Amino acid sequence: MTSDLLELPVFGLYAGFANPVSIDLTFDDGSMQTIDSTVTTAAYTDPNGVYDHPVFIERREAGSELGFDFFALKSDLGTPVIIDTDGTIRWVGVSSEGSIPSVFTDNGFVIGNRHSTRVRRLELDGTDTLVPVAFPDYRNFHHNVDPGKVGFLGEFNTHTDSQSTIAEFTLSGGVLKEWDFATLVRDHMMTGGDDSTLFVRPPNDWFHTNAAAYDPRDDSLIVSSRENFVMNVDYETGAIRWLLGDPTKYWWTFPSLRAKALTLTGGGLYPIGQHAVSLTSDGLLLLFNAGTASDWQPEGAPIGESREYSAVSAYRIDAATMTATNVWNFDYGRSIYSGHCSSAYEAGGHSLLITYARADNVTHARLVGLNSQHEVVFDFQYDTSRCDTAWNGVPIPLENMSFP
C-alpha cells in the first residue's frame, strides 16, 4: 500500500517566529502546485550561552553586496552551528560532542572525533549516524577535515607521531591515500644530503598540519605546516614540489628544503602561522596569515618573524619559475591579532568570510564578511576562551540546497 503522506524536513527557520513556507510541487504529468503555509517555531536558547549573544560591530545593511547568506561555525562546544549574516542562529544539532574536524557536504556534516577515529554523518533533519570507516592504526582526528580529490582529507595523530599525517578517506571505502610527512620530508632531506633527524623530530610537534587542499590543476596536495611553511606535494608520490614560508625560520637552514622554496617576488607577506589553505575561484592560494612565529622548534633554533596583527593573504604560484606573488592582503587596518586557529574562505562573487577565532587576547571570536572589493559588510563577535567557539567558519549554500 502506498502512503499518501510525505514528510518534508524544512531547515533554516527563524526561532521564535511564524515562518512563511512555500512548497512548489511538480507532478509526473507536468502539472504544478504551490502550497503556502506557516511554520511557527519555539524560541531557542543556546545552552552554551554563546551563539544567541552576538555583539555587533557592524550590521549587514539590507541589499548589501555579498556572495553568501549563511555559514557554518566549527565548534568545540557541540555540533556545527549555522549562522546567517545577520548573526542569527539558523540551525544547530543537539549533540554536545565537538565538531572542530568537520566539513559540510551533500546537505550535511561529516565530523571526525578529536579523541578517537570515530566518524559521524550529521544530517540537517537531526539524523546522527556513526560511519564505520576502517582506518589504520591512527589515534585521533585533529584540526580540519577538508574536501579531497575523491573523499575527505583528515588530519590524524598516529601512535608514533603528532600532527604530521594526512589521509584521504571516504564514508564507504575507508582510506584511499596516506601522506606521512615525517617519512616524506625525511626521505627528501636525506636524498639532498641533510641530516633529517635535526628537523624531523617525532613525536614532537615538529610539523603541525592544520589544513589541506587538493589542487586538480596539477594533481597535488597543498598542506599547511603551521610550524614551517605551506607545502605542495605530488598527490600520488608525495614528492615535494614547492615550499612557501618565512625564510627566517629553522627550515630555511637546511639546503634540501631551501632548494624547494618559492621566491616571493615584489614583496608582501610570507605565510606565518597560517591556517585554512584553499584555492580561490581564480586560482589563487588563499590562507589566514596568523602572524605567529613557530612554537615547537629546537632550543636555540630560529622561530621566525612575528607580527602584531593577522591578515588574509592570497598568492599566485608559478611552479615553473619557482616564484610566488602576494597578490593581495586584507589586514583590517592591522587592528586584529588572532595568533592561532582562525580561517578565511571565499564565497560567491569573490566575497570572503573571515573568522578571527582568538581575537582580543583570546576573549572573542570575531566573524567578518567582505564583499568583492574587500569592504566590510558585517562584523560581529562572540565570547570565547580558546578556539572553542569558532575554530573555523565556512560559507555554505543553505539557500541553494537540492535533494535528488
pLDDT in tens, 312-329: 999 999 999 999 999 999
pTM: predicted TM-score of the whole model, two decimal places? 0.95
Residue 20 lies in a domain: no
Low-confidence ranges of the chain (pLDDT < 70): 1-3, 403-404
Here the cell at position 44 is 531557542
Residue 159 lies in a domain: yes
For residue 270, what are the domain limits? 47-400
Residue 296 lies in a domain: yes
Residue 40 lies in a domain: no
Strand pairing class (263-265; 174-180): unpaired
Here the cell at position 82 is 549555522
Residue 172 lies in a domain: yes
Alpha-carbon span 356 to 347, nearest angstrom: 17
- Find the CATH number of the domain harbouring 168: 2.120.10.30
Residue 89 lies in a domain: yes
Q: How many domains does the chain fold into?
A: 1
Give, in degrees to the nearest 5, the angle at Cα 236 between 230 and 237.
75
Residue 250 lies in a domain: yes
Question: Closest by alpha carbon to 72, among 107, 48, 43?
Answer: 107
User: Given this model, what pLDDT does residue 3 score?
Assistant: 65
User: Given this model, what pLDDT does residue 400 score?
Assistant: 78
Residue 174 lies in a domain: yes
pLDDT in tens, 244-278: 999 999 999 999 999 999 999 999 999 999 999 99
